[in-house]
Amino acid sequence: MLVPLTWLREYVDLDVPLEELAARIHTSVAEVERIVRRGVPDDDGNLDLYRAGRVVEAGKHPNADRLQLCQVDVGEGEPRQIVCGAWNFGAGATVAVALPGAVLPDGQKLEQAKLRGEVSKGMILSERELELGQDHTGILVLEDGPEPGTPLADVLPLSDTVLELETTPNRPDLLAVYGVAREVAALFDRPLEPWPGSDPERAGNEQIPVKVEDPEGCPRYIGRLFREVAVGPSPPWLRARLVSAGMRPISNVVDVTNYVMHALGNPLHAFDRQKLADGRIVVRRARKGETIRTLDGADRTLDERDLVIADAEKPVAIAGIMGSENSEVGESTAEVLLEAANFEPVAILRTSERLGLRTDGSNRWEKGVDPYLAEHAARLATELIVELTGARWLGEIDVKAELPKPPVIRLRPERASALLGLKVSPDQQRETLTRLGFEVSKRFDVTVPTWRARDVTREADLIEEVGRFRLDEISFTLPLRREMFGRLTKEQRLRRLVEETLVGAGLAEAYTSSLVPNDPEPNAIRLPEPLSADQAVLRTTLLPSLATAVERNVDAANDEIALFEIARVYLPPADPRPAERWRVAGILEGGYGRAKGVVETLHATLKLEPRFERGEHAFLHPGKTARTEAGFVGELHPARLDGSWGAFELDLGDLFGRVPDRLAYEDVITYPAVRQDLAFVVPEEVEAGELINAARAAAGPELRQVEIFDVYRGEQVGEGKKSIAFSVAFQSPERTLSDADAAALRQKIANTLAERFGAVLRSGT
């Protein structure tokens, strides 16, 4: 919302520094995004160099066919010679002149110059050069010829300061200069001017046939009829205001509708009455397939959900959003039907979203405009149309459903103080609310003004009104907590531990997208309307995304690539929601051994003994994949990525579920361990992990430690066999194990392994 200060001052008399004004609006009303200066820079006496001038003489430049050489009286006694490129004026015209030294709106400084041999002591200005409009075809000729030398700023809005506000969606009343003025008046305790606009005398009482078939969508429709309308350009003040407010001047009638919308917040529309079939207005839902060519030249197909303004035959506007070419006000228009209506927000929002058509009008309607505003808007527009187009106002109709009564809410001032954490006396609260247009009874029954009726419906909303004017006064405190202490859950603590372990092991943490182009799981959840094909599926595994991240690092020629990620996967079925599981995955240079080493370290940190067995995973090397209780470790399938990459993915829930809550002391010091090396010859297909698992089961807890330190293949063990050497430690917490005890344990192991795997104990020390 652009708020030109000259416009704002029309409604509230203000005399505060700009910075203070902006700061207080920012805190209590709406974010001030920017402060923009429009037009001629208003500093260092620059405005004094802009004067009204009378052309005393005008003729062709002696050396240039396309230039005029003028003598212009700017009130200095002697006229000035000025060279000009435009021909739309002649001697006697009053024009806008900038004198040498003047800084133009575009920042350029005007210098005295020689043009084709003739001195030019100034510049005759077009409205575009003054940023008063887009017209650059000719020079701005001042109507009513002010005296030569009159400061131009006295007759034209040469410069303005514009506040650019980012208003919140609950405050459509702020999409109006008058609405902002109301807030400013309340903030600074200044009087607010009464509603602008008053009806001129009506010159007739013609009937206007208006039928509202959908009073829910259109609770109010004011139509006003004007004849003898002279469509033409608006006066400079109006054009300047529209430009300052970010709108394009079009013609006096259209400009008035835009001006009133910006002034009061009620969008208006003007129809060329003679183009309406039967001169009739019907507010109804569109018929399926009905088409309309909107003012932007686009043909649009409507359906029954869209509210339209129609004449006896066809839609002539999409209600609240945009008019149609078939009823547009143009130069030849002589009769105007002015619409000052009220539309319900939801239908407007839906239609505007569906058609992808957002306008200044739809932007206001979709937030909910006060239905009582229509009459104020109609009045101001009527006054201006009559004044600016010379039209006669001949008829009026106001079709309305029963308009909602303003809500009345009980406020407890002590509750406001308590909730804000700031003592605000009841009188102060009453004063704030009253200044904002609320009526506050003795007992604090608060009547909400109609323009806030949608937003303020509860006591909490009134408390906000009290609070937002005092945000800076509220102190900084901390809650007086009861019964609460801050602590991570076991899962959260372990997740941090996993992060720490992996970082300690040399892996860098990656973040990859949960939405992937495809997933190995055929039932993975697909988004019905994804952002793009690359972000279509909720992943069930982290490894593919992590592989992509690794690949990017390979391409960037980064060294020591080792990445991990802790994130969720989303497992089908979604009934109704998928299972979200935390996973940890890693990929690192150096193949299976590195990855398994990391996984083992991770288990050791968590005080877990992993069990590895041969496994399969679509993403991993078929010969180098192991399964654990919590997931997989292996080598990345070479088809996925060149080179030898270790990879793992573990489910943290499965992992953490087995982490002991408490570790009990075991005596590993009092009685010494008996250490032995055992080598077993086994058939090639027997895997070490199976031997270890079987050995543990056979020997029981007195087998404290078992590790593999060598695998040997060769003549001594024979074809198709291998020798696996273990280093074992036997220990009891209760006594010193004798050689005989150790021998017995060793024998148990040997027997079991012989029985189950045909293992032959080759040596034992």
Partner 1 sequence: MTDNEATVAAVDWEAYERQFEGALKEVTSLDDLEKLRVEYLGRKSALAQALRDVRDRETGMRLNALRAKLQAGVDSCAGRLQAAALERELREEQLDVTLPGEHIPRGNYHLLTQIRREVEDIFLGLGYQVVDGDEVEDAWHLFDALNMGPAHVTRSPLHTLYLNGDIVLRTETSPSQIRVMEETKPPVYMVSLGRVYRRDTVDPTHFPIFHQVEGLAVDRGITLADLKGTLLHLARALFGEDREVRFATDFFPFTEPSMQASVSCFLCGGAGCRVCKESGWIEMGGSGVVDPNVLVNVGYDPEEVSGFAFGLGLERIAMLRHGVPDLRMFWENDLRFLRQF
Residues 614-633 that bind partner 1 (CB under 8 A): none
Burial of residue 263, with CB atoms counted within 10 A of its CB: 0-12 exposed, 13-18 middle, 19 or more buried: buried
Element (H, E) at 21: helix 18-28
Site for partner 1 in 350-389 (CB under 8 A): 353
Closest contact distance (angstroms) between CB of 43 and partner 1 is 18
Task: Determine the Cα–Cα distance for residues 125 and 145; give it in Å rounded to an integer.
Answer: 15
Q: Is 608 in the site for partner 1 (CB under 8 A)?
A: no
Candidate list 458, 490, 607, 713; residue touching partner 1; CB under 8 A: 458
CB of 601 to partner 1, least distance (A): 12
Q: Which of 484, 533, 663, 669 binds partner 1 (CB under 8 A)?
A: 484
406-433 exposure pattern, b = at least 16 Cβ within 10 A, e = fewer:
bbebebebeebbeebeeebeeeebbbbb
Q: Would you say the C-alpha torsion 160, 161, 164, 170 has a positive or negative sign?
A: negative
**Residues 157-193 as b or e (16 or more Cβ within 10 Å = b):** bbbbbbbebebeeebbbbbbbbbbbbbbbbbbebebe
Cβ neighbours, 10 Å, residue 405? 9
732 binds partner 1 (CB under 8 A): no
553 binds partner 1 (CB under 8 A): yes
* H helix count then E strand count, the chain: 18, 37
Q: Is 103 in the site for partner 1 (CB under 8 A)?
A: no
Region 212-241 residues binding partner 1, contact defined as CB under 8 A: none
The bridge status of strand 315-318 relative to strand 322-323 is antiparallel
CA distance 65 to 352: 52
Is 578 an interacting residue with respect to partner 1 (CB under 8 A)?
yes
Distance CA 342, CA 452 (A): 15
Q: Could you say whether residue 605 binds partner 1 (CB under 8 A)?
A: no
In terms of DSSP bridges, do strands 210-212 and 281-285 run parallel, antiparallel, or are they unpaired? parallel
* Residue 381: CB minimum distance to partner 1, A: 30
15, 427, 472, 734: which one binds partner 1 (CB under 8 A) = 472
| 533 lies in the binding site for partner 1 (CB under 8 A) | no
From the CB of 306, what's the least distance to partner 1, in Å? 16
Measured from the CB atom, the residue of 301 and 558 that comes closer to partner 1 is 558
The least distance separating partner 1 from the CB of residue 487, rounded to whole angstroms, comes to 7
570/680 with CB nearer partner 1: 570
Residues 6+ apart with CB under 8 A from 64: 115, 116
Helix (H, G, I), strand (E, B) or coil at 649: strand
Instruction: Name the minimum Å distance from CB 26 to partner 1.
Output: 5
CB 608, CB 655: distance < 8 Å: yes
Separation between Cα atoms, residue 638 and residue 556, nearest integer Å? 19
Is residue 483 near partner 1 by the rule CB under 8 A?
yes
Task: Say whether 322 sits in a helix, a strand or coil.
Answer: strand
96 lies in the binding site for partner 1 (CB under 8 A): no
Q: Helices 177-188 and 252-264: crossing angle, nearest 10°?
A: 30
Give the rounded distance of the alpha carbon of 229 from its chain centre.
Answer: 44
Q: Tell me if 170 contacts partner 1 by CB under 8 A.
A: yes
Q: Output the smallest distance, CB 181 to partner 1, in A.
A: 17
Q: Which is nearer to partner 1, 397 or 515 (CB)?
A: 515
| Three-class DSSP labels, 452-511 | HCCCCCCHHHHHHHHHHCCHHHCCCCCCCCCCCCCCCCHHHHHHHHHHHHHHHCCCEECC
Q: What is the dihedral of CA 391, 381, 158, 85, to 10 degrees?
A: -40
Quick note: the x/- pattern for partner 1 over 665-704, rule CB under 8 A, is ----------------------------------------
**Residue 496 C-beta: closest distance to partner 1, Å:** 7
453 contributes a contact to partner 1 by CB under 8 A: no
> Between 567 and 620, whose beta carbon lies closer to partner 1?
567
Q: 463 vs 745, which CB is nearer to partner 1?
A: 463
How far, in Å, CA of 66 to CA of 60, rounded?
A: 8
In the complex, minimum distance from the CB of residue 418 to partner 1, in angstroms, rounded to a whole number: 7
Is 18 a residue that touches partner 1 (CB under 8 A)? no
Binding to partner 1 (CB under 8 A) within 413-452 occurs at 418-422
State which of residues 81, 150, 535, 605 lies at the interface with partner 1 (CB under 8 A). 535
Q: Is 488 in the site for partner 1 (CB under 8 A)?
A: yes
Query: What is the nearest approach in angstroms of partner 1 to the Cβ of residue 502?
Result: 6
Amino acid at 106: D
> How many binding residues for partner 1 (CB under 8 A)?
86
Please list every residue from 330 through 349 that binds partner 1, using CB under 8 A: 345-346, 349
For residue 534, the minimal CB distance to partner 1 (Å) is 10
Q: Please tell me whether residue 169 binds partner 1 under the rule CB under 8 A.
A: yes
Q: Is 531 in the site for partner 1 (CB under 8 A)?
A: yes
Q: Which of 1, 21, 30, 543 binds partner 1 (CB under 8 A)?
A: 30
Task: Select from 67-75, 445-453, 573-581, 751-759 the region that touches partner 1 (CB under 8 A).
Answer: 573-581
Of 4-12, 145-153, 371-379, 562-570, which segment contacts partner 1 by CB under 8 A? 562-570
Q: Does 27 bind partner 1 (CB under 8 A)?
A: yes
- Select from 150, 514, 605, 676 the one that contacts partner 1 (CB under 8 A): 514
**Strand 408-410, strand 392-400: pairing:** unpaired
Give 760's DSSP letter: E
Q: Which residue lies nearer to partner 1 by CB, 297 or 576?
A: 576
